[in-house]
């Protein structure tokens, strides 16, 4: 008498980790609009409006990340310039950009990145390699990754 299995036939599961890209670097934006610390607030605002973006990384001449400038930073400057009755045409973004920047590892799993977005309450994270800015992942990029992966078991 042979041994009977009560589990039934097992379907061979595909190793989706090898087939499906799950890293931040697979979904990050590489072609970024960047700014420099010596750019004027006004020129940054024009770029944000023209490109329909809410902010972007600020890099030095070696393409090293030195800050992030956002719509909020620009709005703060508009408010202050009116309050103090000072023109802002020649004000540079260096004093107004955020310099305490959290980055994310390009090798991080996309699900861990989603969790980091939830905990950090940020809209975007820059990605560095060897100290140089190589990309950025946004909340929208994580949504796109989820839609790409929705056929996988985790979605069901």
DSSP string, 24-87: HHHHSB-S---B-TTSBHHHHHHHHHHHT-SEEEEE-TT-BEEEEEEHHHHHHHHHHHHHTT--
Residue 149 neighbours by CB distance under 10 Å = 18
Instruction: Tell me the per-residue pLDDT of 122-135, one tens digit each, with 9 for 90 and over.
Output: 888 999 999 899 99
pLDDT at 76: 85
* pLDDT band for position 5 (cuts 50, 70, 90): very low
Q: What tokens appear for 44 in the block?
A: 């940054």
* pLDDT band for position 88 (cuts 50, 70, 90): low
The answer, as to whether pTM is greater than 0.85, is: no
Element spanning 66, H or E: strand 65-70
> At residue 7, what are phi and psi to the nearest 5 degrees?
-85, -15
What are the structural domains, with CATH classification, of the chain? 21-151 (3.10.580.10)
In contact, 136 and 33? CB cutoff 8 Å = no
In contact, 77 and 91? CB cutoff 8 Å = yes
């Amino acid at each position: 008498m042979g041994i009977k299995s009560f589990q039934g036939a097992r379907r061979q599961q595909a190793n989706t980790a090898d087939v499906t890209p799950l890293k931040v670097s697979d979904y990050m934006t590489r072609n970024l609009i960047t700014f420099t610390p010596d750019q004027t607030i006004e020129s940054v605002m024009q770029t944000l409006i023209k490109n329909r973006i809410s902010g972007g990384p600020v890099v030095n001449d070696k393409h090293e990340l030195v800050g992030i400038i956002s719509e909020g930073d620009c709005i703060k400057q508009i408010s202050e310039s009116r309050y103090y009755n000072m023109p802002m045409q020649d004000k540079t973004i260096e004093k107004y950009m955020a310099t305490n920047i959290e980055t994310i590892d390009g090798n991080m799993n996309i699900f861990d990145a989603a969790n980091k977005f939830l905990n950090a309450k940020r809209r975007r994270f820059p990605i560095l390699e060897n100290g140089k800015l190589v990309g950025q992942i946004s909340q929208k990029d994580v949504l796109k990754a989820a839609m790409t992966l929705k056929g996988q078991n985790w979605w069901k």
